[in-house]
Amino acid sequence: MIDIHSHVLPFLDDGPDSYEHFKELARQAVSSGVTHLVATPHHNRRYENPKDKIIKHISHCNQYLKMKNINLTIYPGQEYRIHREILNPQKENEILTINQGNYLLLELPPHEVPDYTNEVIYELLLKSITPIIVHPERNKELQNNPSMIYEFVQEGALIQLTAGSVIGKFGGNVKKLASRLIDHQLVHVLASDAHNIHTRGFCLDEAYKEISKSFGHQCTTYFQKNAKNILENKEFQIESPRHIKKRFFKFF
């Protein structure tokens, strides 16, 4: 199983603070069925984790996993907190796309949606970077106005839900919104966003079970295929936003 969003690397952000905790988290990933894991440390908020720093760290961590006989491969990535100057030439070389391909995890602030969000999506796409908006179901403004998520998709962004949201770990309202977004085909991929083994662990397997139960096995296959395509930097088919729009506004 492929997981494209995690905070598994030690010492870089609010993930593990020791190699011991990194090892425990990596073991939890393996026991939940993850084989390919993208490490996506936060960048440009409380933490500064530019491209070069992450790549160097990943190579050490993969060596460590081999030494400990943990059957998990970690790939480079980054969770980039949105800002207006993201493509400023001085900041541009800090960006680390998933496995150095064309997809970037883009994080919004937890409570609002900056008024330049669509502009940033457009600018990234012009540079052949497809932004993946992470966990919109946990953003307060989007919870109150979920139609904005449709606008992001129409603009060309992809949407990633957190696995924990699907199984109710962030409360009933978040679970309900996650479910509606899937129902309206506004979700492209699922990921764990794992931080630690206790409160924010790996539960992608449980989330996929829930999705198969509620939406059918084909829906799980679609998300898993997209995760693979993102990691391998391939394109995939997205349902026409025009088709989504009609159904979406009917419900929101």
Q: Which residues bind Fe ion (CB under 5 A)?
A: 79, 193
Residue whose CB is less far from Fe ion, 3 or 79? 79
CB-based contact 42:81 (threshold 8 Å): yes
How far is the C-alpha of 198 from the C-alpha of 173, rounded, in Å? 22
Residue whose CB is less far from Fe ion, 136 or 184? 136
For strands 130-134 and 79-81, give the pairing. unpaired
Residue whose CB is less far from Fe ion, 195 or 228? 195
CB-based contact 70:63 (threshold 8 Å): no
Task: Measure the CA angle with vertex 153, ends 151 and 159; round to 5°.
Answer: 120
Residue whose CB is less far from Fe ion, 94 or 184? 94
Shortest separation between residue 195's beta carbon and Fe ion, angstroms: 7
Shortest separation between residue 164's beta carbon and Fe ion, angstroms: 11
Q: Which helix (H) or strand (E) holds 154?
A: helix 147-155
Name the closest residue to Fe ion (Cβ).
Answer: 193
Shortest separation between residue 7's beta carbon and Fe ion, angstroms: 6
Shortest separation between residue 202's beta carbon and Fe ion, angstroms: 13
Identify the CA nearest to 4 among candidates 63, 57, 77: 77
CB-based contact 176:146 (threshold 8 Å): no
Shortest separation between residue 14's beta carbon and Fe ion, angstroms: 9
Tokens coding 208: 């996929």
Q: Tally the residues of the chain.
A: 252
CB-based contact 39:61 (threshold 8 Å): yes
Identify the CA nearest to 192 among candidates 232, 161, 228: 161
Residue whose CB is less far from Fe ion, 138 or 184? 138
Shortest separation between residue 110's beta carbon and Fe ion, angstroms: 11
What is the number of other CB atoms lying within 10 angstroms of the CB of residue 234? 12
Residue whose CB is less far from Fe ion, 105 or 185? 105
